[in-house]
């Protein structure tokens, strides 16, 4: 089935910002040329377009640029390295900060590069000092490449090693220029176009659908795979949760910190589709089996309630109302009903995440009276589910098997808020 987010590559032909004012013009085209020395003294010259030059703002950007152009870097799609920049005249190592174009044009910077996979765990530098090398944004957001690369690291070096070094992918995402995060296709009304946001959502859906196949391969493949694994065991839930937290967390941060209000709205306003709406809702709560009142009747969705956090961030940035209002099957639920059901005592003991409760409160404040009173095919509105769940959850304010007290305040507030609106 065609990917509902597959709407076109916005990066081809996009117009970039002007090059730095002190950059050396390359061929009269407004680009720049940087000159740096490798550890062996060999000079590396990199010609940048105007757009590429405008994106080299910090020393971290420079490291990414050098790693992408260094011949010693493997031809594989991804590569994580430690790179050090040295000012040759002073011998001082350059910390993260604004790049000095004068030094780049003079050739007075030397760099050293080390593959993290060649380092022992105790030799690893801090995560913030690592550089994630990739060819382009298509590969950076390619779910199959991300899962395969993460699994290979985990298999060779273990989960703890993976979590330390793969932070470099998160850093690469968060350091994307604001212009890249908000770039839009020229003719968004045409079919088969994607934006950066819709590609991020495609990535999250692929992680949701396929991460388990990497973490827990079935049958003989799983048994054989475990024998070749770092500690003799497949990673299981820890690996899946790590992928969910990493990819969803980076997306949420970019939406909150760099995405413009108009970007979110324009990414959806011409693609009003029940399939798109359904996929957004499944990121929040997963898919539901065609029966009610069973906590096990839901599967999938972004773990740790990060789907709810993402939807709140999108709504705050102008997500069109049709994406979070209205109803979907199989029970003709609105989003409040979709999140809160099941609401019985078993579901209360199983628990719901605080972020889901905060999303429900946010939705209740935005819904009209008619929407709050909407009855699904079982004749129940959101209020009845909220009150039932809050009551069971409040009564469940006990310590279970010596564990921490259950968090109930946000769900009690959700029930009271719905009650006050109706």
pLDDT in tens, 342-381: 877 776 666 678 899 899 999 999 999 899 999 999 899 9
| Cα dihedral across residues 283, 285, 286, 290: positive or negative | negative
pLDDT of residue 2: 43
Inform me whether the pLDDT recorded for 281 exceeds 70. Answer: yes
**Using an 8 Å Cβ cutoff, are 214 and 293 in contact?**
no
**What are the structural domain ranges in the chain?**
1-15+177-320, 18-54+56-134, 325-422
Q: What is the mean pLDDT of residues 210-235?
A: 69
Residue 80's contacts (CB-CB under 8 Å, 6 or more residues apart) are 115, 116, 117, 130, 131, 132, 133, 165, 166, 168
CA separation for the pair 406, 422 (Å, rounded): 28
Alpha-carbon dihedral angle through residues 236, 239, 245, 246, given to the nearest 10 degrees: -160
Q: 381-416 b/e with 16+ CB inside 10 Å = b?
A: bbbbbbbbbbbbbeebeeeeeeeeebebebbbbbbe
The mean per-residue pLDDT over the stretch 164-182 comes to 95
- Rounded Cα gap, residues 310 and 320, in angstroms: 14
Among 123, 116, 58, 118, smallest CA distance to 85 is for 58
Q: Identify the pLDDT of residue 18.
A: 35
* pLDDT tier at 396, thresholds 50, 70, 90: low
Beta bridge partners of 58: 98
Residue 236: its pLDDT value, please? Answer: 84
Res 62 pLDDT > 50: yes
Residue 313 · residue 255 · CB < 8 Å: yes
Q: What percentage of the chain reaches a pLDDT higher than 70? A: 77
Residue 27 has pLDDT above 60, yes or no: no
Looking at the predicted structure, is the pLDDT value of residue 59 above 90? yes
Q: In what order do the strands lie in the sheet with 109-115?
A: 43-48, 32-37, 109-115, 79-87, 130-133
Domain 18-54+56-134: CATH architecture, name and number where available: Roll (3.10)
Q: Residue 61: which residues within 8 A CB-CB, separation 6 or more?
A: 55, 99, 175
> Does 202 have pLDDT greater than 90?
yes
Q: What pLDDT score was predicted for residue 75?
A: 80
Q: Mean per-residue pLDDT for 50-75?
A: 89
């Amino acid at each position: 089935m065609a990917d509902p987010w597959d709407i076109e590559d916005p990066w081809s032909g996009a117009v970039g910002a002007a090059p730095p004012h002190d950059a050396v013009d390359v061929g009269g085209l407004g680009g720049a040329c940087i000159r740096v020395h490798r550890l062996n003294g060999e000079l590396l010259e990199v010609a940048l377009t105007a757009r590429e030059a405008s994106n080299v703002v910090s020393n971290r950007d420079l490291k990414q640029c050098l790693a992408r152009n260094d011949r010693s870097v493997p031809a594989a799609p991804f590569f994580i390295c430690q790179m050090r920049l040295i000012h040759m005249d002073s011998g001082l190592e350059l910390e993260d900060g604004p790049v000095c174009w004068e030094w780049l044009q003079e050739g007075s910077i030397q760099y050293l590069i080390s593959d993290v996979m060649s380092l022992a765990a105790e030799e690893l530098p801090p995560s913030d000092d690592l550089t994630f090398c990739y060819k382009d944004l298509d590969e950076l957001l390619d779910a199959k490449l991300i899962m395969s690369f993460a699994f290979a690291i985990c298999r060779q070096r273990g989960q703890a090693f993976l979590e330390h070094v793969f932070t470099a992918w998160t850093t690469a995402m968060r350091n994307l220029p604001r212009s890249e995060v908000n770039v839009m296709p020229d003719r968004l009304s045409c079919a088969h176009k994607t934006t950066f946001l819709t590609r991020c959502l495609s990535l999250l859906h692929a992680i949701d659908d396929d991460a388990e196949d990497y973490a827990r391969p079935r049958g003989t493949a799983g048994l054989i795979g475990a024998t070749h694994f770092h500690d003799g065991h497949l990673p299981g839930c820890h690996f899946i949760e790590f992928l969910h937290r990493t990819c969803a967390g980076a997306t949420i941060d970019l939406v909150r910190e760099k995405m413009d209000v108009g970007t979110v709205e324009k990414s959806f306003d011409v693609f009003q589709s029940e399939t798109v709406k359904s996929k957004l809702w499944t990121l929040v709560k997963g898919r539901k089996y065609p029966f009610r009142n069973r906590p096990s009747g839901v599967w999938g969705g972004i773990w740790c309630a990060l789907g709810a956090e993402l939807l709140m961030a999108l709504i705050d940035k102008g997500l069109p109302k049709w994406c979070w209002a209205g109803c979907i099957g199989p029970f003709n639920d609105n989003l409040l009903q979709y999140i809160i059901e099941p609401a019985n005592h078993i579901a209360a003991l199983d628990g719901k995440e605080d972020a889901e409760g905060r999303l429900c409160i946010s939705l209740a404040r935005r819904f009209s009276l008619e929407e709050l009173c909407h009855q699904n095919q079982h004749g129940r509105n959101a209020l009845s589910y909220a009150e039932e769940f809050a009551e069971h959850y409040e009564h469940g304010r006990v310590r279970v098997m010596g564990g921490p007290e259950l968090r109930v305040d946000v769900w009690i507030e959700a029930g009271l808020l719905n009650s006050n609106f109706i």
